[in-house]
Amino acid sequence: MMLIVDKVTKSIGTKKILQECSLNVQAGQICGLAGPNGAGKTTLLNCIAGVLTPEAGQIELDGKDLIHQPLNRKALFLISDDFDFHPFGTIRQMKEFFDIFYSLDEGELARHFNHFKLEEKNGIYSLSKGQKRQVLFSIALSLDLRLLMVDEVYDGLDWNVRRYLVRELTNRISDKSMALLLVSHSLKEIKGICDHCFLMKDQSIVAQEDLLENHLFRIQLVFREECKPDFKALEIIRTQQIGKCWNAIVRANEQTLRRVMAQLSPVLADVQPLSLEDYFSLMTDSSWKGEEEDDGEIF
């Protein structure tokens, strides 16, 4: 595992923002990080990047401690959604600022600046929000990184810039030397570029999904009488019982699913493939029970 975030806890003032938050990212992965407003996504990125120091937990990149060894952070870069460089500085000064800590590949940087028609002599104040992001992406793409994190990945960027960045970023990770962790509020955007997605809610990661191997289904079963169906052969993610009706979110092969459902012999059965949007909505809906919240008798 390349990035390991293990049980990270962070408070700001008296408020707990992250509570034993854990996630792992492998080299070559493009991971999305989604979740409701205020869930703690930005705080998590800031803890990984060293902008904030957690009070408990471990963060490692390639087995190297990121919390207490700042130099290990040279292998990562965070494009935050509110980066504010000295307003009277120029693009050149911004480049030189990052060059103090990182080693920029000047040729690569010039290629991106040319593409975006960015001139180093220009003042940061003269740039639009999207152009400021273009500068940061150009710098990030010119570094020798293991992990690039982007908060609000497409914020302020037009469709041509997005297409260019998707191409450049996927090229960069194709040799599996690097990974991406991208925060977005749009699951559509996440599905468009990511191969894995984490869902954050209430200060920690509550679900994750492989977007390439997505075999999620929502099943609805109605029985003659109230009962506790035997779902053992299926990987149950969530269940909800309303009288004689059982709803469940399962991860399964469709054939196995249909066989198990036939064995349960309900009066009525419905199977629907589950979209990521629906899955994450259900994971944030407290009327559904997770396996760990059950009394253990059913599964």
* Range in contact with ligand ATP (rule: CB under 6 A) among 10-18, 91-99, 163-171, 265-273: 10-18
How many Cβ atoms sit within 10 Å of the Cβ of residue 244? 15
The reply to whether 43 sits near ligand ATP by the rule CB under 6 A is yes
Instruction: Say how far apart CA 170 and CA 264 lie, in whole Å.
Output: 45
* Range in contact with ligand ATP (rule: CB under 6 A) among 11-19, 84-92, 191-199, 226-234: 11-19
Choice between 11 and 58, CB closer to ligand ATP: 11
Choice between 45 and 124, CB closer to ligand ATP: 45
The reply to whether 184 sits near ligand ATP by the rule CB under 6 A is no
Q: Which DSSP letter does residue 287 get?
A: T
Residue 199 sits at the vertex; the CA angle it makes with 194 and 202, to the nearest 5 degrees, is 155
Among 8, 39, 79, 261, binds ligand ATP (CB under 6 A): 39
The reply to whether 2 sits near ligand ATP by the rule CB under 6 A is no
Among 1, 38, 226, 267, binds ligand ATP (CB under 6 A): 38
The reply to whether 52 sits near ligand ATP by the rule CB under 6 A is no
β-pairing, 56-61 vs 64-65, is: antiparallel
Instruction: Say how far apart CA 31 and CA 172 lie, in whole Å.
Output: 14
Beta strands in 80-137 (DSSP E): none
Choice between 113 and 198, CB closer to ligand ATP: 198
From edge to edge, which strands make up the β-sheet containing 15-25? 15-25, 3-12, 56-61, 64-65
Among 3, 23, 42, 59, binds ligand ATP (CB under 6 A): 42
Residue 75 sits at the vertex; the CA angle it makes with 59 and 184, to the nearest 5 degrees, is 70
The reply to whether 51 sits near ligand ATP by the rule CB under 6 A is no
Q: Which DSSP letter does residue 114 get?
A: H
**Residues in contact with ligand ATP by the rule CB under 6 A:** 12-13, 15, 17, 35, 37-43
